[in-house]
Structure 1
């Protein structure tokens, strides 16, 4: 169990602002808080029971109880850990010292694709994917599956797939007899 705090707030606090304080303390977003499982109790007396804190009404009851007390205003909030927030990927900005990722891109090629014929585009794709296709053909040689002699076959849980030398995958869900 991890303890955070103490935190101060006034009696006119809204439930959404109260949740924001808790989310900030937990280094998460409000949407990641297990609000329906949140409970609170006064620290004194030690045998005080935990009360729900799942909505605005419960929050108002908690604040009214605090206002009605003459002393010992300290209370604790109990909840399971919030769901983990995946760290967002950093945006690459000009002020970052990290170098930009390398990738092959040529503005002239991107803008000139409409000028090229379809045949030229197909040849360019075949050339670019030739190494990957050869690797696939080596990994799945001809006659690698007894149901499909003379073919390069890839199989997964959805079916059988024939890899043609042109690079196209032709899916078959079942064996054709």
Structure 2
């Protein structure tokens, strides 16, 4: 018996209001799981209760959102990841300096009187969450994660309805008792 497996070769595209972010065609399972574990650990470390954001420290929320962005960026092609992670330190309407790392941006901004940090690609939290769900589905093996192929490369059709078994049902076989 022979079974063929197709691999994605074209990047996945997330179109967000006309901005396209390109994601890797394939991500190795261990790399994906390592990145996902780091995201979960970062969320726990910040101690942000997503059900009670009113009591959370704003800097902890920012760090938690940043961990989500870092996770997503690890699945992207380099140019998209750079755009997605870019932080500008601004004063008024002037960009003072650009960063990829939040800690570095915070350190720099603290030295600039009246400066603040902004994500260059500003996105609502719901979009970040939708991206997370999509990426987990793509690379975590859920849903429509299979690459599309021509009909000749498709897997064989599913069995038709009905049973092909000829013996007793597994449930009957496993519950039989001696002497009955």
Work out whether the TM-score is over 0.5.
Answer: no
Normalising to structure 2: TM-score of the pair? Answer: 0.29
Normalising to structure 1: TM-score of the pair? Answer: 0.30
**Which has the higher Rg, Structure 1 or Structure 2?**
1
Tell me: higher relative CO, structure 1 or 2? Use CA pairs within 8 A at least 6 residues apart. Answer: 2
Structure in which a larger fraction of residues adopt helix: 2
